[in-house]
Amino acid sequence: KIKLKHGSHREGKRTDAIMQKWRGNGLGQFIHWGLYAIPGGEWNGKQYNGAAEWIRSWNEMPKPAYDSLIYKFNPVNFNADQWAAIAKDMGARYVTITTKHHDGFCLWPSKYTSYTVANSPWKKDIMKPLVDAYDKAGIDVILYFSIMDWNHPGWRYDIKTRADSIAFEGFKKFTRNQLIELLTMYPKAKGLWFDGTWDKSWIKQAKFADELEAEMRKLRPGLIIGSRFRADEYGKRHFDSNNVLMGDYEQGWERKLPNTIADVHGNDWDCVMTIPENQWGYNKAWKGHIKTSTELIEMTAKAVSLGGNFVLNFGPKGDGSIRDQEKRLALEIGDWMKVNNEAIYNCGYSGLEKQDWGYSTKKTRIDKIYMVVFNIPVSGAYRVKLPAKTAIAKSYLLADQNQVLKVEEVHTNEYFVYANPASQSKPFVIVLETKKKERSGENNYDKAK
């Protein structure tokens, strides 16, 4: 092990109640909203091919033209309660909201810059109504914060000269001030989701970032901070030089999911996902494949089956309204979650071998296994292998618990569960209530008759 001053300060998963709640959330909502939603991926009649929230980096759009979008920010259709209701209907148990994206525009009236909602036609704080609305809906709030800030004169991609160093010192103070300000103004926030920390300038701030993280955790005990916030003194990110996770959960899964439990190294993690291929901020013209609710439900089940959370992104329009496709998907996912959320909430890795029919999840501390089915075997037999000395006490459809299912032990610790679900157009869940095996060789033929 390398001696580290600014590496990870904790090994293994956090066991406190705040983190256990986060771990059991299963499904979250991401909100990307800011000035970039006004052009919506288009400028002077031309489409920007990249992600809409990066339009400022597009040479076709002059930086001053982007920066003056602040004078157009007047979201007359913004309704925080409606956004929270959409998340609630979808079955999201937490939300991650952009307070400031890379462009530096602040959705809260920060004292440390004039580039905020306070100096827009809207004038009012956006974060407070959002935090209050989601909190009222029983949805935990995580604040997204981009360290990289294209609007701040002190930002540097790297520190090469003494002038850079002096400028960046001012930027570091500004960053600390804004983070303390956010935690002070929105004490209900459960955590911070950092972004924009990949440039050398920030990677070189191991000591500063370590001390800032400690200051934030002291100000807000239990605060949840991901692995992307800071690097160790050797520039290692997400995992320190001893390969120990930085922060409380791994933030590496972006628009992609781990495939096996080995990929998650025994850590907590979240996957953040876009509905179109790669648009976080509102883009008028979604190109390429737009994910269906069934695909998104499968990703949610897969994430939970591997011990993580699935966070689905919404990009509200410049006027503050939510686009129809997003509202429809939220309702379709919500319809499924209303029936099946027992297989998602407070569930995690089951330890069972992956089978073709789908993903298995397990309630933490309860002997219940959920088989979330996406592929129906023509045989009608759903194979499941249980650990030694574990047997199936009872099996039934989560959607219709009176439908007790026939179970057959076809080999030692290997069972076929027979199910012919009524509707096959949507994923469904088979529940296994397990028990200790009485004695070996006991057959289960007559169990379900």
Binding site for ligand 16Z (CB under 6 A): 32, 51, 53-54, 195, 254, 272, 280
Question: What's CA 116's distance to the chain center, in Å?
Answer: 25
Least distance CB 70 / ligand 16Z (angstroms): 19
Kindly give, in sequence order, each residue whose CB lies less than 8 Å from that of residue 348, ignoring residues fewer than 6 positions away: 23, 24, 304, 307, 361, 362, 364
The pair of structure tokens assigned to 123 is: 């004038």
Q: How far apart are CA 107 and CA 55, in angstroms?
A: 18
Amino acid, res. 29:
Q
Q: In whole angstroms, how close is the CB of 278 to ligand 16Z at the nearest point?
A: 8
Burial 323-343, CB ≥16 within 10 A → b, else e: beebbebbebbbbbbeebbbb
Q: From CA 193, how far away is CA 316, in angstroms rounded?
A: 19
CA distance 18 to 188: 12
Nearer to ligand 16Z, 51 or 189 (CB): 51
Q: Which residue is nearest to ligand 16Z (CB)?
A: 280
Of 133 and 311, which CB lies nearer to ligand 16Z in the complex structure? 311
Minimum Å gap between C-beta 419 and ligand 16Z is: 38
Q: Which of 303/371 has CB closer to ligand 16Z? A: 303
Which lies closer to ligand 16Z via its Cβ, residue 102 or residue 172?
102
Q: 358 — phi, psi (to 5°)? A: 150, -140
Backbone φ and ψ for 194, nearest 5 degrees, come out as: -85, 150
Q: Which is nearer to ligand 16Z, 195 or 240 (CB)?
A: 195
Residue 54 or 336 with smaller CB distance to ligand 16Z:
54
* Residues ≥6 apart with Cβ < 8 Å to 355: 371, 382, 383, 384
Closest contact distance (angstroms) between CB of 316 and ligand 16Z is 14
